[in-house]
Structure 1
Amino acid sequence: MSEHTGLLTPAASAGTPQTRRTGQSLSVAALRKAYRGTTVVDGIDMDIAAGEFVTFLGPSGSGKTTTLMMLAGFTEPDSGTVTVDGRDVTRLNPAKRDFGFVFQQYLLFPHMTVGENVAFPLQLRGLPKAEIRRRVGETLEATGLSGFARRRPRELSGGQQQRVALCRVLVYRPPVVLMDEPLGALDKKLRDQMQTEIKSIQRELGLTVVYVTHDQEEALVLSDRIAVMQDGRIEQFDTPRGLFEQPRTPFVADFLGAANFLTGKVEAPGDDGCADIRLDTGGLLTARHRPCVPGQPVRVAVRPGKFRLGPSDESCCTGTVETVVYVGTLVRVTVRPDGAAPGTPPLRVETTSTDPPRTGERVFLTANRDDVSVFTDTEGG
């Protein structure tokens, strides 16, 4: 991608107008939608700041795309409101909202050149030809496509076609850009490249972006905040760091980072915001926690990368190594914990050790108290 100029940065020469930052705030209140008696979006509330990148993340059927379609106006909500900079657009025609929309399918006009595809939204809006040429040129240059204006879509790679689809949205400066899994059709290398480009453009233009994906890594890379969704509801709306380090429900802990879960009971709550938890496997684990009382059943969650292979006198869990898989930058190990009930899945451990354990070896696991999440038995997930 070429250096961002024109569209993204203040004018380098006299007579070239600076691009205004176009993002506007977006608010959703009590948004609901049901189909044939089945609720698919169940009371969504959120406030998105102007220039913020927010991602809806969740498994299939969690309500991500339906919520996005209601924001766009393609689907009418049963109840609730959508406002942009305080203006109610809930019942407004999609065309009058003037939002940008980027789909997984590129939907480029095959008979048009790249330049003509990008110019099309401006022609619909009746802009003068000189203004259209200027904006198209700036937008193509900003996304590294200035040399492709005369090519047809069939002459482009998948990543280039997706950039053209993005250009067609950016060229008319929408107040909000909605993206529905736009990188799903690309291979991993192209996805990684496009993630960097989309985030760079979004930041420099100050775009308000609402993005849908089921890819946890993609959400973490792109987002200022992430709404983790399940069964039409938002489980947690937080920063990537907040979600990863302080999940509020077992579902969030497991969906974002594939946490290991162990059951136990609170043995001794401390005055320092920590508690000793006696695991059902027999080990003792210290964790920072929300308020709980001695004897209370809990589940603790530890991410694979947070388990450490430590000496026996410091361990919270002992077990036997079942598998060891080398995956380049780290080694993935599964451990069958001692004392686990039949049917209990093995614990997953990720280590960067140059001397990882071997299959069949006895190991001792421990975790830092700040890396343990505690959930009471009343919390679902």
Structure 2
Amino acid sequence: MPELDVKAPVITPAPDTGTGKPVSVTALRKTYGAVTAVDEVSMEIAAGEFVTFLGASGSGKTTTLMMIAGFCEPDSGSIVVGGRDVTRLAPQKRGLGFVFQQYLLFPHMSVWENVAFPLQLRGVPKAELRRRVGETLDMAGLSAMSRRRPRELSGGQQQRVALCRALVYRPPVILMDEPLGALDKKLRDQLQTEIKRLQQELGLTVVYVTHDQEEALVLSDRIAVMRDGRIDQFDTPRELFERPRTPFVADFLGAANFLDGHLEERTDDHSLVRLDTGGLLKARPQADRGAGRVRAAVQPGRIGLCPAGDGFCTGTVETVTYVGTLVRVTVRPPGGTDPVRLELPAGRAPALGERVGLTAEPADVSVFSDPENGG
């Protein structure tokens, strides 16, 4: 294999690196003048866990990641990795791996040299360096391309090289800032599978940033949904999708339908909502027992069709859009309210203009107080 000829200071690795370590973030806060970018964010990430920060632009997800990495110093709060307080340490002293959206490969180096570079900086002996580079390239399916330059690789291959460069020294935590954002959907899907496989095989802790809901659901053990510098909900993908705790999470994760009405009955088993359209909708128990105005939320894929006059609502089919294995349908309820969106199997599409009833299982319906309307 080629030898590297790069003059650079040797980086001393953090103690006991090489396997996934837990990460503890406590009351992190970061302001820029009058703008609060991150506001008292706290979380516990287990060793070997894949956690994603998910949110729109400006939600605080990247700033939180940069504080963990050491590229951005918090105003207050603490960051502990594997029991070691790294809050005020320089990035190179934290022993963490980082994968950016931009590949940042050295154009004059081969794939092998790019991946070997972090080990050379750490003073790893040559025999060990060759072994670890070879193993890492094998895992990523890049051994046959080891002598190529970055310009000879596709975008997906370049991102795999960047991932290998972060993995090769077996850091306890890998931080990834939208690493697949510049790729097309097919390549993103392929690399999602590879990233998850490598993370599980090596037992690494991964903290990942994305604004792509599907990507977060596919990759993550848990997701922190962020908004305005805070965490709205930190939970498993299933809990976030099926049991959102706020209307924002319900809408952001699944583009939920929101149906307004009054809470007519509340028991330990269910909530009963009298919708503004006149129908009754049975839902999971409301989190609080307050009466008044409420908003019911149900995902498009959890609403079914039934005969007109049945279900919680009857309306007219306005649109039917074929998107491969399913159809997207909108149904207009009476009274000029917003249309209800459905996702149905492709063979079960209703006809345009047809009168249909809508139904949903209570376990699929969340109910939230509506403070803007007296709830």
**Alpha carbons 1:176, 1:209 under 8 Å: kept:** yes
How far residue 22 of structure 1 moved from its aligned partner, in angstroms, is 0.9
Identify the match of residue 280 of structure 1 among 259, 276, 281: 276
Give distance in 2, aligned partners of 1:117 and 1:379.
55
Give the aligned partner of residue 101 of structure 2.
104
CA deviation map 1:44-103 (0-9, x unaligned): 000000100000001111001000000000000000000011211100010000110000
**Structure 1: which 5+ residue stretches go unaligned?**
1-19
Structure 2 counterpart SS, 1:364: strand
CA deviation map 1:212-267 (0-9, x unaligned): 00000000000000000000000000000010110000000000010000111111
Identify the match of residue 328 of structure 1 among 312, 324, 327: 324
Identify the match of residue 49 of structure 1 among 25, 46, 49: 46
Using the TM superposition, name which of 134-143 and 346-355 deviates more. 346-355
Q: Determine if the alignment matches structure 1 residue 306 to structure 2 residue 299.
A: no
Using the TM superposition, name which of 70-79 and 308-317 deviates more. 308-317
Give the aligned partner of residue 377 of structure 1.
370
Give distance in 1, aligned partners of 2:204 and 2:96.
11
Give the aligned partner of residue 15 of structure 1.
none
Give the aligned partner of residue 211 of structure 1.
208
Give the aligned partner of residue 159 of structure 2.
162
Give distance in 2, aligned partners of 1:346 and 1:178.
41
Cα pair distance change 1:330/1:146, threshold 3 Å: same
Q: Determine if the alignment matches structure 1 residue 250 to structure 2 residue 247.
A: yes
Structure 1 counterpart SS, 2:183: coil
Give distance in 1, aligned partners of 2:18 and 2:333.
54
Give the aligned partner of residue 222 of structure 2.
225
How far residue 311 of structure 1 moved from its aligned partner, in angstroms, is 2.2
Give distance in 2, aligned partners of 1:258 and 1:102.
29
- Name the TM-score, length of structure 1 as normaliser: 0.91
Give the aligned partner of residue 351 of structure 1.
344
Amino acid at match of 1:301: A
Amino acid at match of 2:308: S
**Alpha carbons 1:268, 1:294 under 8 Å: kept:** no
Give the aligned partner of residue 17 of structure 1.
none
Identify the match of residue 131 of structure 1 among 128, 133, 141: 128
Cα pair distance change 1:293/1:89, threshold 3 Å: closer
Give distance in 2, aligned partners of 1:195 and 1:325.
28
Cα pair distance change 1:234/1:295, threshold 3 Å: closer
How far residue 361 of structure 1 moved from its aligned partner, in angstroms, is 1.8
Give distance in 2, aligned partners of 1:221 and 1:30.
28
CA deviation map 1:301-336 (0-9, x unaligned): 010001111123531011111111000010001111
RMSD across aligned positions (CA): 1.5
Q: Determine if the alignment matches structure 1 residue 90 to structure 2 residue 83.
A: no
**Structure 2: which 5+ residue stretches go unaligned?**
1-16
- Name the TM-score, length of structure 2 as normaliser: 0.92
How far residue 291 of structure 1 moved from its aligned partner, in angstroms, is 4.8
Q: Determine if the alignment matches structure 1 residue 71 to structure 2 residue 68.
A: yes
Structure 1 counterpart SS, 2:335: coil
**Alpha carbons 1:249, 1:379 under 8 Å: kept:** no
**Alpha carbons 2:217, 2:237 under 8 Å: kept:** yes
Cα pair distance change 1:378/1:185, threshold 3 Å: same
How far residue 135 of structure 1 moved from its aligned partner, in angstroms, is 0.7
Give distance in 1, aligned partners of 2:51 and 2:287.
31
Amino acid at match of 2:265: A
**Alpha carbons 2:224, 2:233 under 8 Å: kept:** yes
